[in-house]
Amino acid sequence: MRIATWNVNSVSARLPRLLDWLGTAEPDVLCLQELKCAEDAFPSGEIGELGYEVAAHGTGRWNGVAVLSRVGLEEVRRGLLDEPGYLADGAMFETKEPRAIGATCGGIRVWSVYVPNGREVGHAHYAYKLRWLDALRATAAAELSSPRPFAVLGDFNIAPTDADVWDITAFDGCTHVSEQERKALTALAETGLTEVRPRALKYDVAFTYWDYRQLRFPNNQGMRIDLIFGNEAFTSLVADSYVDREARKGKGTSDHAPVVVDLTAP
């Protein structure tokens, strides 16, 4: 079975690239993030023509997550356990953003997650990010009560180590590399999950994100922030994992590349 995760940075804008990638990479399950569309606007018809069922969670032009599967789609859950909301500037009430969706596909339980960016250390969005990560940890812990293969995949907006960014000095005092964020990532792993780290192909570190600006991709000035964590039942099946850099090349691409994991039959 082939499972992948990809922050597409607008499913509408990237639809031709997405359909092409589904046709060539042929994942059995694909977790998507940053849909930037409401559920009823998701291109389920076009994707369905390739044999995929779709479970989407989105409300509009920001955020949004989905699970695409051609091996069954059951037990769909939208949102984390006790998921916090965010009080945006000028808003009167907190809003729960569409950032997590779980589903069971071919006997494997997956969650597609789009962790809040955090904006700046000390910002209200940063505090929201840490609360959200705590809810993700609690959700993962609850899922781990089942012995079936289980994985959390997505854009975590956290680089696990200093080596996972192109130049750590460029991130001094910034989000994505702060101690509190990394502690939250460690707490998630301590529930019983292990990161499936993709093997490096062209470069020493398999970055997954490159800013559009300043020729970051051609110069490989990226970050590894799209991650996969699985329980022992999941990681014991891993045969290979890699970042598909080809999907980041050319015009009309997302600023993220897909991360792929191939599993042997259980």
- Annotated catalytic residue: which of 57, 125, 176, 256? 256
Question: What dihedral do alpha carbons 25, 26, 28, 32 form, nearest 10°?
Answer: 60
Burial (0-12, 13-18, 19+ Cβ within 10 Å), 197: middle
Residue 190 marked in a binding site: no
Structure tokens at 44: 């389920």
Distance CA 114, CA 125 (A): 14
- Annotated catalytic residue: which of 86, 114, 126, 209? 114
Helix, strand, coil fractions of the chain, as percent rounded to 5: 25, 25, 50
**Which residue in 37, 131, 136 sits closest to 80, CA to CA?**
136
Residue 256 marked in a binding site: yes
Could you give the count of Cα atoms lying within 13 Å of 262 in the half-sphere of its Cβ? 9
Active site residue 242: no
Distance CA 40, CA 4 (A): 23
Buried b (16+ CB within 10 A) or exposed e, 54-90: bbbbbeeeebbbbbbbbbebeeebbbbeebbebeeee
Distance CA 163, CA 171 (A): 12
Residue 155 marked in a binding site: yes
Active site residue 155: yes
Residue 219 marked in a binding site: no
- Annotated catalytic residue: which of 155, 164, 226, 244? 155
Walk across the sheet containing 238-243 and list its strands: 53-57, 65-69, 29-33, 2-7, 259-263, 238-243
Active site residue 28: no
Helix (H/G/I), strand (E/B), else coil: 118: coil
Binding-site residues for Mg(2+), in ranges, read 7, 34, 155, 157, 255-256
Active-site residue list: 114, 155, 256
